[in-house]
Chain A
Amino acid sequence: DAGITQSPRHKVTETGTPVTLRCHQTENHRYMYWYRQDPGHGLRLIHYSYGVKDTDKGEVSDGYSVSRSKTEDFLLTLESATSSQTSVYFCAIRGAGGEQYFGPGTRLTVT
């Protein structure tokens, strides 16, 4: 157990509304990641962080922003949710050998 929690676990929202997902870790890991997973596409990296206030884009960053003001929290924001952002969102931390450990995921539905 890598001590990663995500909130909320499920959310239904309307198109055009802002949404923030939270990832919280308790083990002081430097690297944190946000992925989305969709059928046929596998895991796709949205953004990642390599320290407090240090973030970088992944392969599908359009429409998403992130913030990391504390080591333990990494927030993912959809400024104006669209139906194409309906997905399962996973947060992960990086282990000592380069492997990653995941939180339980957030199921987001944009109607």
Chain B
Amino acid sequence: RKEVEQDPGPFNVPEGATVAFNCTYSNSASQSFFWYRQDCRKEPKLLMSVYSSGNEDGRFTAQLNRASQYISLLIRDSKLSDSATYLCVVNEGNRKLIWGLGTSLAVNP
């Protein structure tokens, strides 16, 4: 079983749609969690950290379920500019991050 698993997609949604991505992780002792966004041929950029109580940043909501070992990202009112690959990332507390392979999102006009 991979340490961090994501559905690769692609997710094709119309503008204005709500879309959700899930990610599962294998190490129950994982300490912190992040969502990154990566545009084609660019570096990954931190989108948001994921807190135990869940957190929201504008149209983006991240949630953590430690019991089931998954995290989620919800994007509301999708924009064309949201088209990218979204990477789920887990910090197991050993100075290194564990990266998912990413979920591809295409928002269509």
Contacts and interface: CB of A to CB of B under 8 A. Distances in A.
B43 interface: yes
B97 A90 contact: no
Interface stretch (A12-20, A67-75, A78-86, A102-110): A102-110
B71 to A, nearest CB: 14
A90 B31 CA distance: 24
A41 B87 CA distance: 13
Nearest to A30: B95
Contacts, number: 43
Interface string B20-48: 00000000000110100000011111100
Nearest to B43: A102
Contact of B97 (A40, A50, A100, A104): A100
Contacts of A33: 96
A62 interface: no
Contact of B31 (A31, A50, A98, A105): A98
Contact of B96 (A42, A45, A104): A45
Contact of B95 (A40, A50, A90): A50
Interface of B: 31-32, 34, 41-46, 49, 87, 89, 91, 95-97, 99-102
Interface of A: 31, 33, 40-43, 45, 48, 50, 58, 88, 90, 94, 97-105
